Amino acid sequence: GAVVSQHPSWVICKSGTSVKIECRSLDFQATTMFWYRQFPKQSLMLMATSNEGSKATYEQGVEKDKFLINHASLTLSTLTVTSAHPEDSSFYICSARGHGAVVGETQYFGPGTRLLVL
Which residues of the chain form contacts with another protein (CB under 8 A)? 32, 34, 42-46, 49, 51, 57, 93, 95, 97, 101, 103-112
Which lies closer to another protein via its Cβ, residue 62 or residue 82?
A: 62
The least CB distance from residue 16 to another protein, in Å, is: 28
* 40: exposed, middle or buried (Cβ count in 10 Å: 0-12, 13-18, 19+): exposed
Which lies closer to another protein via its Cβ, residue 9 or residue 83?
A: 9
Residues ≥6 apart with Cβ < 8 Å to 118: 12, 13, 14, 15, 86
DSSP state of 33: E
Which lies closer to another protein via its Cβ, residue 25 or residue 32?
A: 32
The least CB distance from residue 40 to another protein, in Å, is: 11
